[in-house]
Structure 1
């Protein structure tokens, strides 16, 4: 009989909605969050169980326990693993759903597996739409561990037979997710640049929302990112209130670094990452120096800051 009980640690935008989706699929979910009111509020909303401590969470789950961490990568995830590992028993399963660097996950798994606890690294994509549409899940770990958590993967994914993949051993899940996010950087950059060019040809008076909507059908560039772009432009084509700053999660950098280490050219992903850095003001000094060079050799005017 497969396990139907799972614990979710971390109730941010992803974790809370993953818990909701699992609960809606008639699985038994116990939730914990460092700020316990988040867990309590979610339990009141859904009827699932809220634990007030990691100890209570572990005690509430039947063996073998399945605990899914949906926390920021790095210290937040590591500190929770350090706290929860001594509470677990041999055969329990710990899933790291953070956007973690795959080599860190491999190293992390060694300590967990040494304690007799299965470790699974899970790359999770779907964002705020995951509750409704399902999550794309890229998981790494032993076949035995994956088999035990398959009911949860099937419930979270868009379908039991699609949208999730056992990629290989520990580390492979986060590796595939890392490359997925690198591709995402490039696709987003290409769409943004294309629409900027369309918007710049002002004499044609193009309706960008209609262009985007038309491209959604039959076009080779149709995609979910285009769907989201079309929705944005239908609401606001000017974007006057939006600051031109794009954050980066780190996964694009890891993808570019891995490509360099493997001697695989990845110019689109790398340049898309650098454009995000540029939007964060990291090219301001270089741009100022370029302006001064033009002034020095050609006498070109330099614009002053207001």
Structure 2
């Protein structure tokens, strides 16, 4: 069943550009971008057990790195994306250091400072350079082909998402992944087993931050502009919701959570459009999204801590017993 499901999913992903409209492909691209960021957060929180509330700040750091390089020195994307990943890795070192002494809510608050710092720096750059509506970025060009529409971007983002998933899967099977699992369970026991806890934690922050910043740079190139308003604290809440709803400690959970959280606002908007009082609900869609995220996260935490992956496993187990 797993092989059949995988083949069907691969066939659907390949056929999507030929069957879907531009709007549908745009949603698919948003899911792929969210998948990259969700996998990065899952590595840090779901597997290494390190809490972070600075995810939106890392996305903004990657996006602004690509935008500033494109604006100031006309750097192409093959320089902007690695530079964004390097920026993320550097921030991962800086803001991973508190994890060596802080845990729980104190670590979460320290990572939250990352968000406000990046937002402040990005806002100052926009103001001083006069980019009131954001930094414009020209579409990437490869061999004379310009990537500007969802159809052209879809295979690129799909390949990047698959590569990030494979990288994460191999990391989890390596000595680094086993060390993350050990410190996630019990740090004193991990240290007693000879694991360098400090180095392992820092590696988790560095790898996760680099992937997240790369996702932010891809988002900037895909949208064609960078604005600090796109990286509010609500974005961090969305990514936390992705790994909770999808299922903590599962790469498949990161993918399912990214798809669910990305599609949810569109589903709410579509549902409000068919209701009799849709005109009065038009201004409340954003508030409805907030309420929906809160209710769904509470429901999963209380009734299904395993997330969507837990539901799938239970369904598969029931089928296996028949």
Looking at secondary structure, tell me which structure has more helix per residue: 2
Higher relative contact order (CA 8 A, sep 6+): 2
- What TM-score, normalized to structure 1? 0.28
TM-score (norm 2): 0.27
